[in-house]
Amino acid sequence: MIAAALTGYFVVVVPLRADILDNDLTLIYIGARIGLEHGWSHIYSLALQHDLFAQLRPHAVFNAGALFVSPPPYAWIVVPLTIFGAAGATYIWLALSLAALVAAWRLAAPGTMPHKALWLLGALAWYPLLYGLSLAQPDLVILALAAIAWRLADANRPYFAGIVLGLSVIKPQLLLILPVVLLFAGRWRIVAAWAATAGLLGAASLAVIGQQGLNDSLSLLADVQHDANNRYFTLAFLLGPGTLSYAAQVAVAAAAAIAGFLNRHNSSARIFALGIVATTLGATYWHLQDFTILVLAVWLFWRERPSIPLRLLLLVMAIAGEFAWPLTPLPILLGVAVWFAAMFTSPRRAPAVAT
């Protein structure tokens, strides 16, 4: 508890007190404001983004890391928060993020109280999660959506699970390979509902932003792809940013499909954990805070009482994430790769699967 409090204070409270608008939600707020004031077809206008950014943070540098490039539904969610101003929106989003973490913990963390509380304290002391919180990222919201989807799948409510999973399009890269794993694991109903939900949100987004907005979005995405920071925590760190790393990421997706098929008779918890781990390893766009999604994977994976070596592996990964900046991404990427490989084998204890 002391570690969580101290780490949280220095990683989250101190930087936000220095500049409450120095976070990624400010960029979403800018997109929402542009949509409301200039029309949704202009939310990816570089000039309008620059102007509003300069108004909100006149002393900050407007660069590739300050662009609003997220899908329109993310901005739509933030629209109600704009009445509180940029700072107020940040405070509310932080509160919602913590509530999402608690909800996910109640649904997915293994064990019973008081031991279950240790999982929440451990999560709140982990640097990647706190770093994401300091940036007001949506990672904890996505984590909660995945936890809810898992619980619905486990309760044999696949269509509702897919609908909830489809809402993760506000930051799709965190769960991108999970639908592939679910499909090859035979959970096609979840995938069908996910595809319908994501497709409807995608169609609505295109209808709202129009051709101009689409062109502006593609232009910004092309600029963002050249930012090395966006691939630092991916396989590109080991293989370089070229063809080899993309081939490796495709290979991870293919291997995840095979692993999903091999695990088709296992629990929904294992399937969801597998999809999250595969997504982490095969990501093409990833940052340190995005490892937050592994918290849910650990909770679900632990439900099957993994072997002592695998438990030690998860501990090593937690330490690697804690010191990812000085250690480089190599230790945590290797840990994720070993974890992914281990999930090709049968679990020690396979609970009954809801069909």
Q: Who's near 338: CB < 8 A, 6+ residues apart?
A: 313
Q: What is the pLDDT of residue 212?
A: 92
* pLDDT at 353 exceeding the cut of 60: no
- Averaged pLDDT for residues 163-170: 96
Measure the CA–CA gap between 336 and 278, rounded to whole angstroms: 8
| Whether 354 contacts 155, CB under 8 Å | yes
Measure the CA–CA gap between 342 and 114, rounded to whole angstroms: 30
pLDDT digits (tens, 9 = 90+) for 284-319: 999 999 999 999 999 999 999 999 999 999 999 999
Instruction: For residue 160, name the pLDDT band (cuts at 50, 70, 90).
Output: very high
Residue-averaged pLDDT of the chain: 93
Q: Who's near 202: CB < 8 A, 6+ residues apart?
A: 71, 169
Cα dihedral across residues 154, 157, 159, 164: positive or negative:
negative
pLDDT digits (tens, 9 = 90+) for 41-88: 999 999 999 999 999 999 999 988 899 999 999 999 999 999 999 999
pLDDT digits (tens, 9 = 90+) for 195-223: 999 999 999 999 999 999 999 999 998 88
Measure the CA–CA gap between 116 and 91, rounded to whole angstroms: 28
Measure the CA–CA gap between 30 and 44, rounded to whole angstroms: 10
* pLDDT at 96 exceeding the cut of 70: yes
* pLDDT at 351 exceeding the cut of 80: no
Measure the CA–CA gap between 331 and 177, rounded to whole angstroms: 22
pLDDT digits (tens, 9 = 90+) for 102-142: 999 999 999 988 899 999 999 999 999 999 999 999 999 99
Q: What is the pLDDT of residue 6?
A: 73
> pTM (2 decimals)?
0.93
Q: What is the pLDDT of residue 105?
A: 98
* pLDDT at 262 exceeding the cut of 80: yes
Instruction: For residue 337, name the pLDDT band (cuts at 50, 70, 90).
Output: very high
What's the DSSP call for residue 81?
G
Runs of H (alpha helix) within the chain: 2-8, 14-18, 25-38, 46-56, 72-78, 85-108, 115-124, 127-134, 139-154, 158-166, 178-184, 188-224, 236-239, 243-262, 268-282, 294-302, 308-322, 324-327, 330-342
Q: What is the pLDDT of residue 350?
A: 45
Share of the chain above pLDDT 90, in %: 85
pLDDT digits (tens, 9 = 90+) for 141-152: 999 999 999 999
* pLDDT at 176 exceeding the cut of 70: yes
Q: What is the pLDDT of residue 2?
A: 66
pLDDT digits (tens, 9 = 90+) for 310-322: 999 999 999 999 9
Q: What is the pLDDT of residue 1?
A: 65
| Closest by CA position to 130, among listed 282, 322, 345, 2 | 322
